[in-house]
Amino acid sequence: MNPVIPEIMGNKRCRNCILSGKKDYVFVRNETLKINAHYAPNKIIVLLVSESPPWAYLQDHSAYFYAPGQIKRSGLSYHIMSVLFKEKFSSKECFLQKFTEKGFYLIDMVKCPINKLPRWEKEKATKSCANYLNKELHSLNFKKAIFIGKSSFKIIKNHLELDFNYAVIPLPFGSNINVQNFRKQLETNIIHV
C-alpha cells in the first residue's frame, strides 16, 4: 500500500491549498486515492507520476487510470498499455492486473484534478501538493520514476528532492506529435530499467 494515501485523505497539508474548499475537487481526490490504494505492487520497478486525476471523473468514473470500465483510445491507460504491452486485453481490469504484476505503479503529482483550472490556480495547487509527492517519492521503493507532464513537472520540480533515477516525458494529449513523443519517450525509458 502507498503509505501516504491516509495522510492525504486526512487533509494534513491541504489547509492552505486553493482547492481545499472545493467539494468536487476533494471528492475526486478521495475517490481516486481509494481506487489507487488497491494497485500498489509489492515491488515497484517503474513509478509513473502523472499530472493529476482527470476532472472528467465527475461525469465518467472510468476516466481515471485505475478505475474499472472501458479503455478509451484517448485515455492515459490506453497510451500506456499500447507502449508497455503489445497485446490486446479483454478488459481494463486485465490490463491493470498485468500492469501491477509487472511492477508498474501510477500516482499523481497533484492529488486533485487540475486539468480544467486557469494556469495560476494550477500552479498554486501543484505547489501545495509538493509535500505529499515528495513524501511518496521517498517512501515508495522503485528503480525509476517517470514524470508524465512536462509543464506540471516544471512547476513542482524545485519543491522535490530528486535524488533518484527519473525521466520527464510529455502528456499524450493535444496532438499526434504529443502522442508520438509520449510513446517514444516512454518506451525508451522503460527499456533502460
pLDDT tens for the chain, 193 residues long, are 799 999 999 988 888 899 988 999 999 999 999 999 999 999 999 999 999 999 999 999 899 999 988 888 888 999 999 999 988 888 899 999 999 999 999 999 999 999 989 999 999 999 999 999 999 999 999 999 999 999 999 999 999 999 999 999 999 988 899 999 999 999 999 987 7
Phi-psi region at 51: left, alpha or beta (left = phi > 0; alpha = psi -120 to 50):
alpha
Cell numbers for 32: 481516486
How many domains does the chain divide into? 1
**Local structure of residue 164 (DSSP, 8 states):** S
Rg over alpha carbons for the chain, rounded to the nearest Å, is 15
Q: Which domain holds residue 72?
A: 5-191
CB proximity list for 137: less than 8 A, separation 6 or greater: 47, 49, 145, 160, 161, 162, 164
Q: Which CATH number fits the domain that encloses residue 178? A: 3.40.470.10
What pLDDT is attached to residue 65? 96
Neighbours of 183 (CB within 10 A): 16
pLDDT at 71: 85
Q: Say if residues 156 and 127 touch (Cβ distance below 8 Å).
A: yes
The pLDDT of residue 12 = 82
